[in-house]
Amino acid sequence: GKGLLLNFYGKACRPCEQEIPILRRIYKRYNGENFRVLGVTSQETRLAASFLKYHKIPWPTLTDRQVELRGQMGVSSFPTTIFVGADGLVAGIHTGPLDWKTASAAVEQLIISVRAKQKKASSAAP
């Protein structure tokens, strides 16, 4: 498994736009073997694609038109970022725009956890 940053954002959400440089920095620095960034929006696909292109967002984004995932995760405002561990459990939730210190610390903890699980699994293998 991998660590995951799920970023829920909405249209016309100024704080969502303000945190894009931090998310881009997280993506460039950490996205890879042990960690992924994934955006989630309730915008229709065409509007979401336009937003992604305008802001040059490189990470994949899900369209949650029926607001199912948002409801399951308990997201009630934008932006909300959910940090998910390799075990699929929520490791942390941040409501409001991310700052570098908070985001990078949470991501580094996820990656440490993923590596520890991998090490444990490889040492348990025959």
Output 60-68 pairs: Cβ under 8 A, ≥24 positions apart: 62/38, 64/40, 67/42
pLDDT digits (tens, 9 = 90+) for 5-49: 999 998 789 999 999 999 999 999 999 989 999 999 988 888 899
Query: In angstroms, what is the C-alpha Rg of the chain?
Result: 15
Say whether pTM exceeds 0.85.
yes
126 has a pLDDT exceeding 80: no
pLDDT score recorded for residue 1:
83
Element (H, E) at 118: helix 100-124
pLDDT in tens, 68-113: 899 999 999 999 999 999 999 999 999 999 999 999 999 999 999 9
Asked if the bond preceding 60 is cis, omega within 30° of 0, the reply is no
Q: Considering the domain 3-124 in this protein, what is its CATH number?
A: 3.40.30.10
